[in-house]
């Protein structure tokens, strides 16, 4: 059963704080980090842990250009497709074998994409909102969904943009009505229009972010 995809919204690490962030990224099984701001840290330690880093910066307080939206949605789609493929492959290999629990099946664990800007209140959340809309969530529901978990995010210009955002239908495999809430996200999952996606506030306890 497909359980969706998770997003981890962060503020910006530095070289000195990156080890703490890296521990959290690994704990949340992050596959990719998207940087929406200028680089402030080396990516070597992330790459060593097989975490890919994507540099897609755009102006603070602004909305993302079409090229970044396209790259972002292609990344989300790739992670969903990869997980569905892995699950199907493992199911084929286990055909005729004893049934294993969901906890033992790695292919059932939703992938996590971490996104950060400087404060984690504008550029990073707007990319997550766009993904949620493309996955089937209503526009303003996406704003409310993220704001409940990360207070203070989005300026008026960004909310206006999200409200008027039209789905591009870039995602080839949007999450369907068979999805179920991710029970591991501590209440941060939501069903809306058949979509389930966990949005987590990265490192809020460790670094006391405003969430």
| Cα-Cα end-to-end distance for the chain | 31
- Whose CA is closest to 129, among 53, 195, 79, 67? 195
Residue 117 catalytic? yes
Residue 153 catalytic? no
**Among residues 32, 117, 153, 182, which one is catalytic?**
117
What does the alpha-carbon distance between residue 29 and residue 8 come to, in Å, rounded to a whole number? 10
**Among residues 60, 153, 163, 182, which one is catalytic?**
60
Residues 5 and 80 sit within 8 Å (Cβ to Cβ): yes
Q: Is the dihedral of CA 185, 141, 135, 160 positive or negative?
A: negative
Beta strands in the chain (DSSP E): 5-10, 30-35, 52-55, 112-116, 191-192, 195-201
In degrees, rounded to 5, the angle at the alpha carbon of residue 52 between the alpha carbons of residues 151 and 28 is 50
The residue behind tokens 């790695």 is 106
Residues annotated as catalytic (active site), given as ranges: 60, 117
């Amino acid at each position: 059963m497909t359980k969706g995809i998770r997003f981890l919204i962060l503020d910006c690490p530095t070289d000195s704080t990156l080890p703490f962030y890296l521990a959290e990224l690994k704990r949340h099984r992050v596959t990719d980090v998207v940087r929406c701001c200028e680089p402030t840290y080396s990516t070597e330690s992330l790459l060593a842990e097989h975490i890919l880093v994507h540099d897609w910066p755009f102006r603070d307080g602004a909305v993302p250009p079409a090229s970044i939206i396209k790259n972002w949605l292609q990344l989300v789609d790739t992670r969903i497709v990869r997980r569905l493929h892995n699950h199907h492959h493992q199911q084929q290999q286990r055909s005729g074998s004893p049934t294993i629990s969901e906890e033992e099946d790695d292919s059932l664990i939703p992938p996590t994409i971490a996104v950060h800007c400087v404060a984690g209140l504008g550029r990073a959340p707007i990319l997550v909102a766009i993904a949620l809309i493309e996955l089937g969530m209503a526009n303003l529901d996406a704003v409310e969904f993220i704001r409940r978990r990360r207070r203070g995010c989005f300026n008026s210009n960004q909310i206006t943009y999200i409200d008027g955002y039209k789905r591009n239908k870039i995602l080839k495999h949007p999450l369907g009505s068979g999805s179920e809430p991710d029970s591991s996200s501590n209440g941060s999952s939501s069903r809306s229009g058949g979509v389930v996606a966990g949005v987590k506030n990265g490192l809020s306890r460790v670094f006391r972010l405003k969430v």
